Amino acid sequence: MMTGPRITLISPRGPLYRHNGGIWKKSLRYAPLTLTTLAALIPDELNAEVTLVDEGIEEVDTDLNADLVGISAITGTAPRAYEIAEEFRSQDVPVVMGGVHPTLRPEEAMAHADSVVTGYAEETWPQLLHDFTNGGMQRRYDQDPDLDLSGSPRPRRDLLPEGRFTTPHTIEATRGCQHRCDFCVVPSAWGSPMQKPVAAVIDDIRQMDPDTLVFLDLNLLGDIEYAKELFRALIPLDLQWGGLATTLIAQDDELIDLAARSGCAGLLIGLESLNPDSLAETRKQFNTLEEYRTVVDRLHDAGIAIMGCFVFGFDNDTPAVFEETVEFVNEVGIDLPRYAVLTPFPGTPLFRRLKKQGRIRTEDWTKYDGQHVVYEPEGMSAEALQEGTRQAWEDTYKITSIARRLFRSRTRPMLSIASNLGYRFYANRLDRYYNCREPV
Ligand code: SF4
């Protein structure tokens, strides 16, 4: 059989790996799905030789023999992606770029790549590869968002190095999100929700045969009836899983019961803000402060830990936001709080608004990592926002704060203690990982 093209797919390193190796060391990550999914979409008939490089765990060998390099980038990794692309293109190796950032800034990405794929890649990536082997690769491929995921192949997890991820079993059942939060790239880049058939998801899980599993779906509850069907089908598998959801889970008794019975151990939920004006500002009114306590209590009663995410820097935020938020997470017992600085990712309504108002301080995408202040805040100085965020992390992960939160929660104590100590390590070194004591 004739040997096909040698294709190398690269995920460039982000800020945690640019500075001091990252919080969890390189091996303590969950297995990513983008590269393995792209690898699975490579048509068999091309007989391609495929290599995956996740720069979070290994260096890119720029001397490698490749006929085609594909790079998937988010905004924070785009400059590194361009650097890698230049290196390969200088050796006459053609480079294709895709992912969130090239989807939202295709013209920019095209300046650094021979071809750009926007949106999902289910149909365009195989098409591009056929065109490439026939010598007719186009400059740009735009995926029709009206996709059917029912025939999606299983990700090529076998191509990732073994033993490098603490959570090796990851899966994606759905894509997109029906909400339209002002700061979020998901609606702009990925559009409305779509699902894989539950039977296909369960089949994929059975073949992995995991004890624990992480759903990487951006919002597992995009379609509540689908989520219920999925949770029902997970029950016989007797595993523990975690994923991303919204506060809406607490409004549906059956949903929360099915989540618990299906082995849900923890959910990451964007609470974003305690301030109703900020929630309205960001178009996330389905979150309400009055319900936050109920959400946390109901999840805890079901044995589900909560990783609660908050964003600082909305126009309605004042310097009081940091202390108020830290006090709240300690009081209600959020198992693992996380904080981000509001980040106007390009392509989002937030970016357009701030750009129009002349409030974007920098378009150095390396600083678009959720921990740098890259715009001019309204209710406080950029310095106060930067330092307040850092201080909130530090205060939240003091031993006394951890003890207070976990005593209140009493949900999955061993896991919570270990996760909190990991986050305490991170919180105390935030500046080192992001170089973010000063705003940009
Ligand atoms: S609910 Fe989450 S995923 Fe959906 S738009 Fe809002 S922030 Fe994005």
The CA distance from 84 to 99, in Å, is: 15
From first to last of its 440 residues, the chain has per-residue pLDDT tens of 568 999 999 999 886 655 444 444 444 578 999 999 999 999 999 999 999 999 988 889 888 889 999 999 999 999 999 999 999 999 999 999 999 999 999 999 999 999 999 999 999 999 999 999 999 999 999 998 889 999 899 999 999 988 888 888 999 999 999 999 999 999 999 988 899 999 999 999 999 999 999 999 999 998 999 999 999 999 999 999 999 999 999 999 999 999 999 999 999 999 999 999 999 999 998 898 889 999 999 999 999 999 999 999 999 999 999 999 999 999 999 999 999 999 999 999 999 999 999 999 999 999 999 999 999 999 999 999 999 999 999 999 999 999 999 999 999 888 899 999 999 999 998 888 777 777 77
Q: Which of 100, 188, 215, 219 to mutate to test the pocket of ligand 1 (most atoms within 8 A of CB)?
A: 219
For residue 275, the CA-to-ligand 1 centroid distance in Å is 18
CA–centroid distance, 193 to ligand 1, in Å, is 11
- pTM check: above 0.75: yes
> Measured in angstroms, how far is the CA atom of residue 219 from the centroid of ligand 1?
7
Numbered ranges of CATH 3.40.50.280 in the chain: 6-142
Ligand 1 mean position, distance from CA 179 (Å): 6
- Please state the atom number of ligand 1 nearest to the C-alpha of residue 184: 8
- Helix 382-396 and helix 321-332, axial crossing angle in degrees, nearest 10: 20
Q: Judge contact between 377 and 385, C-beta under 8 A.
A: yes
List where CATH 3.80.30.20 sits in the chain. Answer: 169-434
Q: How far is the CA of 243 from the centre of ligand 1 (A)?
A: 13
Q: Are strands 170-171 and 140-142 parallel, antiparallel or unpaired?
A: unpaired
- Spacing of C-alpha 402 from chain mean position: 25
Pocket of ligand 1, candidates 284, 295, 338: which has the most ligand atoms within 8 Å of its Cβ, to mutate? Answer: 284
In ligand 1, which atom is closest to the CA atom of 183? 7
CA 259 to chain CA centroid, nearest Å: 21
CA 413 to chain centre: 25
Return the best residue to mutate from 186, 224, 338 for the ligand 1 pocket (most ligand atoms within 8 A of CB).
Answer: 186
| Ligand 1 atom with least separation from CA of 185 | 8
Q: 135: alpha, beta or left, given left = phi > 0 and alpha = psi -120 to 50?
A: left
Cβ–ligand 1 distance for 84 under 6 Å, the answer no
Residue range 169-434, CATH number:
3.80.30.20
Cα end-to-end distance, the chain, whole Å = 55
What's the pLDDT at 420? 94
What is the dihedral angle through the alpha carbons of 348, 121, 168, 95, rounded to the nearest 10 degrees? -90
Ligand 1 nearest-atom number relative to CA 272 = 7
Identify the burial level of 251 via C-beta atoms within 10 angstroms of its C-beta, where 0-12 means exposed, 13-18 middle and 19 or more buried.
Answer: middle
- The two beta strands, 95-98 and 68-72, are parallel
Per-residue confidence (pLDDT) for residue 264, from 0 to 100: 97
Q: At what angle do helices 198-208 and 224-234 cross, to 10 degrees?
A: 40
Nearest-CA residue for ligand 1 atom 6 is: 181
CB of 342 shorter than 6 A to ligand 1 = no
Q: What is the largest CA-CA distance in the chain?
A: 68
Work out the angle at residue 102's Cα, subtended by the Cα atoms of residues 99 and 106, and round it to the nearest 5 degrees: 150
Residue 185 Cβ contacting ligand 1 at under 6 Å = no
Ligand 1 atom nearest the C-alpha of 218 is: 3
Question: Is the minimum distance from the CB of 246 to ligand 1 under 6 angstroms?
Answer: yes
Q: Which atom of ligand 1 is nearest to the CA of 219?
A: 3
What 3 state SS string does the chain have?
CCCCCEEEEEECCCHHHHCCCCCCCCCCCECCCHHHHHHHCCCHHHCCEEEEEECCCCCCCCCCCCCEEEEECCHHHHHHHHHHHHHHHCCCCCEEEECHHHHHCHHHHHCCCCEEEECCCCCHHHHHHHHHHCCCCCCEEECCCCCCHHHCCCCCHHHCCCCCCCECCEECCEECCCCCCCCCHHHHHHCCCEECCHHHHHHHHHHHCCCEEEECCCCCCCCHHHHHHHHHHHHHHCCEEEEEECHHHHHCHHHHHHHHHCCEEEEEEEEECCCHHHHHHCCCCCCCHHHHHHHHHHHHHCCCEEEEEEEECCCCCCCCHHHHHHHHHHHHCCCCCEEEECCCCCCCHHHHHHHHCCCECCCCHHHCCCCCCCECCCCCCHHHHHHHHHHHHHHHCCHHHHHHHHHHHCCCHHHHHHHHHHHHHHHCCHHHHHCCCCCC
- Strand 140-142 and strand 338-341: pairing? unpaired
Packing angle of the helix pair 413-427, 382-396 (nearest 10 deg): 140
CATH number of 6-142: 3.40.50.280
Taking alpha carbons only, the member of 135, 138, 111 closest to residue 125 is 138
Q: Is the CB of 219 inside a 6 Å radius of any atom of ligand 1?
A: yes
Please say whether the beta carbons of 188 and 105 come within 8 A. no
Of 146, 132, 140, 143, nearest in space to 106 by CA: 140
Question: Which ligand 1 atom minimizes the distance to the CA of 246?
Answer: 1
Provide the residue count of the chain: 440
Cα of 284 vs centre of ligand 1, distance in Å, is 8
- Phi then psi for residue 326, to 5 deg, are -60, -45
Ligand 1 atom closest to 284 (CA): 6
User: Measuring from atom 1 of ligand 1, which residue has the nearest CA?
Assistant: 179
